[in-house]
A and B are shown apart, each in its own frame.
Chain A
Amino acid sequence: MDSHVEEGCSSETLTFMELAIEQAKDALNSLEVPVGCVIAEDGKVIASGRNRTTETRNATRHAEMEAIDALLEQWQKSGLSVSEVAEKFSACSLYVTCEPCIMCAAALSILGIKEVYYGCANDKFGGCGSILSLHSSSSKLPDSGNIAQRKDFKCTGGIMALEAVSLLRRFYEQGNPNAPKPHRPLVQQATDN
């Protein structure tokens, strides 16, 4: 499927993005930064995820990471080999409400995902063009013989961006009750060495 999605998105794209928005709403209801995603293969959604950084206290638990982990677990439980998993990723499309951050864009490249559709741009952290362009390696590719080839993925932004932004805006406007409040633990409780 190599149809270019520019002006009018295909109805499939919109359908998947709507599902990603649903995930983002779920995050918002849990007081998480509202970003959600789905991963599709052969026109079917095979995984979904939403931001879970607050709940896990792990700031790397972005929607993409949640969906990726679900897939890896699912595929390994069904006994797929490394190469089969790699091949599967190369047939997957990610639909995410906000441009993947630098970390997630790098992860998607490492996995060799086929393509990414995103909603709003991520002006501060975006890894698919806003700050860095990790989806396309042409800019910075050190020439080294025995390095496995890094993988590019196709990236299309601006899909249902207004919906994605309005969720984020609602999150910040509801007066983030979780304003930065840096605490230091009494670490002695935890360490015994």
Chain B
Amino acid sequence: MKKDTTDMWKIIHIPDKLPIPPNQQPTVNVLASVIDPKHANTLIRRLNQIAPLKNVCHVKRIQKKHLEGGKTQLSVILCLASEDNSLLNSLPQDVQELSDSYQLSPFVTKVCKYAATSKEEWEEQCKLWPTSYHPPTYNIDGITGFSEEDSLSILSFMKVAIELAKSGDGLIVNAAVIVDPSVQQIITNGCDQIFSWHAPMNTTCIRNDCIEQSTHLDSHQSNGVASTVTEVLPNASPSEPESLSCAVSCLNPWKWSEQQSDTANSYYWHPLRHAAIVAIESSADRDRRLFPDLGDAEEKSFETSQSSHVVAMVKRQKTSVANAEKKEADPPDMPSNSVPERPYLCTGCDIYLVWEPCIMCAMALVHQRIRRIFYAFPNPNNGALGSLHRLQGEKSLNHHYAVFRICVPEEALDIAGNRKSC
């Protein structure tokens, strides 16, 4: 990997909420007053009792301003102001009494309504009134930045995905690479298979190696052609500017029905076989192949709550996995379990997608418990991870992944200039 090219590849976290400019954060009004510093402790203690700052715990009670001549001035928040801004008559009685007895002069001022989610937001908040800021303590690596080493490996996996995406005959499709980051290895991959699909249920021979996969012979079909998943797309006309994006299923999932049918019927097609779905299926096949003795159900319900708790557990387990040949701690109601370590779906795994997934694929990745998603190009009309939807921010879901975009230089797809810029 050449250093000079990877320097251009930036990794950006796509947050759960639509980012708002730090200086446009919502505010609420409070009543505050300048106080005599020697009363500060008493006043704050008393105010915290009679007028606690409910729902705005991130707001500090006291503000210290540096005045000219080295002097400082202290102000405290007396209480939240009523909605209608009608000043002093809105002081609760005990606050009013306190205010009177210390001869305070209440005024209305603004504080930020929500706790800061980034340092930038926090700095902006403090211009209004000081707040506290607790950087998020995520269990997911990378949200607060990647090490040089991690970045390089992330970029190299994305490059594998991009190569897969252009492994067809001049057509670009979406491609997915599932990686176990704990061992830096590709578990499986998949490409869009809307218009070329191996026979149904014939999914036993998927290999780990992406090159092998992409030139994978179709053993089940009689057409005898090296049926790379990307080669057949009826009616693709390279002269049309949108022809490239046409082949990426997630960019327009409804497009399938407009394709002319190939009457030769030499291939199967399936409108839902987007790259992520294909890769998930392939990883499940791999799971069954590696752990054939699963026998009874291990999977728990789709409603069981786990999310970050599991990620933490997985991390702990990773460290002890070497000497834990066999888990002794089967749940009491589980009959003897002879199977050693096996994965729960894709817990702990990352997926690399060339294009931001559509909502179907994004939800499939929630179901399969993917830990981090990296995509290179946004999907402005149908993307579910920041463009049209922001599924990573849906609180009701039982699993949440972290989403990153890797800004890839123009030439990465290097099929002429008819692809829109990222």
Interface residues of A (CB under 8 A from B): 30-33, 53-60, 65, 68-69, 72-73, 76, 79, 81-84, 86, 101-103, 106-107, 109-112, 123-125, 127, 131-132, 134, 140, 142, 144, 146-151, 171-172, 175-193
What 1/0 mask marks residues of chain B from 380 to 397 whose CB sits below 8 Å from any chain A CB? 110000001101001011
Contact A59–B369 (Cβ < 8 Å)? yes
Closest to B207 in A: A192
A-B pairs with the 3 shortest C-beta distances? Answer: A81-B261, A58-B284, A103-B363
State in angstroms the CA–CA spacing of A55 and B360 once bound together: 22
State in angstroms the CA–CA spacing of A109 and B343 once bound together: 32
State in angstroms the CA–CA spacing of A59 and B259 once bound together: 29
Q: How far is the CB of B191 from chain A (nearest CB, A)?
A: 17
Q: List 12 A-B contacts (CB under 8 A).
A: A57-B284, A57-B345, A60-B281, A79-B265, A106-B360, A110-B272, A134-B359, A172-B301, A184-B318, A187-B183, A188-B185, A193-B209
Contact B290–A190 (Cβ < 8 Å)? yes
Give which listed residue, A82, A110, A177, A186, contacts B321 with CB less than 8 A.
A186
Q: Which residues does chain B contribute within 8 Å of A123, judged by CB atoms?
A: 396
Contact B310–A182 (Cβ < 8 Å)? yes
State in angstroms the CA–CA spacing of A65 and B200 once bound together: 13
Give which listed residue, B187, B301, B333, contacts A190 with CB less than 8 A.
B187
Contact A148–B254 (Cβ < 8 Å)? yes
Q: Is the CB of B355 closer than 8 A to any CB of chain A?
A: no
State in angstroms the CA–CA spacing of A147 and B396 once bound together: 31
Q: Which residues does chain A contribute within 8 Å of B94, judged by CB atoms?
A: none
State in angstroms the CA–CA spacing of A185 and B321 once bound together: 9
Contact B301–A69 (Cβ < 8 Å)? no
State in angstroms the CA–CA spacing of A193 and B189 once bound together: 14
Q: Which residues does chain A contribute within 8 Å of B261, judged by CB atoms?
A: 81-84
Q: Which residues does chain A contribute within 8 Å of B117, judged by CB atoms?
A: none
Overall SS of chain B's interface: loop
Q: Is the CB of B127 closer than 8 A to any CB of chain A?
A: no
Q: How far is the CB of A181 from chain B (nearest CB, A)?
A: 7
Contact B381–A147 (Cβ < 8 Å)? yes
Contact B341–A60 (Cβ < 8 Å)? no
Give which listed residue, B187, B259, B342, contacts A183 with CB less than 8 A.
B342
* Chain B 269-311 residues near chain A, CB threshold 8 A: 269-272, 277, 280-281, 284, 286-288, 290-291, 294, 296-304, 306, 310
Q: Which residues does chain B contribute within 8 Å of A149, judged by CB atoms?
A: 254
* Chain B 16-68 residues near chain A, CB threshold 8 A: none
Contact A185–B296 (Cβ < 8 Å)? no
Closest to A134 in B: B359
Interface residues of B (CB under 8 A from A): 180, 182-183, 185-187, 200, 208-209, 242, 252-261, 263, 265, 268-272, 277, 280-281, 284, 286-288, 290-291, 294, 296-304, 306, 310, 313-314, 317-318, 321, 327, 331, 333-334, 341-345, 347-348, 358-360, 363-364, 366-369, 380-381, 388-389, 391, 394, 396-398
Given contacts A82-B261, A110-B253, A148-B257, contact A60 B367 (CB under 8 A): yes
Q: Which residues does chain A contribute within 8 Å of B284, judged by CB atoms?
A: 56-58
Closest to B380 in A: A142
Contact A186–B341 (Cβ < 8 Å)? yes
State in angstroms the CA–CA spacing of A168 and B123 once bound together: 49
Q: Which residues does chain A contribute within 8 Å of B327, judged by CB atoms?
A: 183
Q: Which residues does chain B contribute within 8 Å of A178, judged by CB atoms?
A: 296-301
Contact B299–A147 (Cβ < 8 Å)? no
Contact A53–B302 (Cβ < 8 Å)? yes
Given contacts A124-B396, A179-B331, A187-B183, contact A148 B348 (CB under 8 A): no
Q: How far is the CB of A96 from chain B (nearest CB, A)?
A: 14
Given contacts A53-B299, A148-B255, contact A68 B272 (CB under 8 A): yes
Contact B242–A183 (Cβ < 8 Å)? no
Q: How far is the CB of B192 from chain A (nearest CB, A)?
A: 13
Q: How far is the CB of B164 from chain A (nearest CB, A)?
A: 15
Contact B341–A111 (Cβ < 8 Å)? no
Q: Which residues does chain B contribute within 8 Å of A179, judged by CB atoms?
A: 300, 304, 331
Give which listed residue, B333, B368, B388, B389, contacts A60 with CB less than 8 A.
B368
Contact B296–A171 (Cβ < 8 Å)? no
Contact A181–B331 (Cβ < 8 Å)? yes
Give which listed residue, B186, B260, B306, B348, contacts A184 with CB less than 8 A.
B348
The residue among A84, A148, A171, A175 with the most chain B CB atoms within 10 A of its own CB is: A148
Q: Which residues does chain B contribute within 8 Å of A84, judged by CB atoms?
A: 261
Contact A147–B302 (Cβ < 8 Å)? no
Q: Which residues does chain B contribute within 8 Å of A55, judged by CB atoms?
A: 297
Q: Which residues does chain A contribute within 8 Å of B368, judged by CB atoms?
A: 58-60
State in angstroms the CA–CA spacing of A177 and B336 once bound together: 12
Contact A185–B291 (Cβ < 8 Å)? yes
Q: How far is the CB of B166 from chain A (nearest CB, A)?
A: 21
Contact A102–B359 (Cβ < 8 Å)? yes
Q: What 5 additional pairs, Cβ within 8 angstroms, besides A82-B256, A102-B366, A187-B185?
A: A124-B303, A127-B359, A175-B333, A185-B343, A188-B183
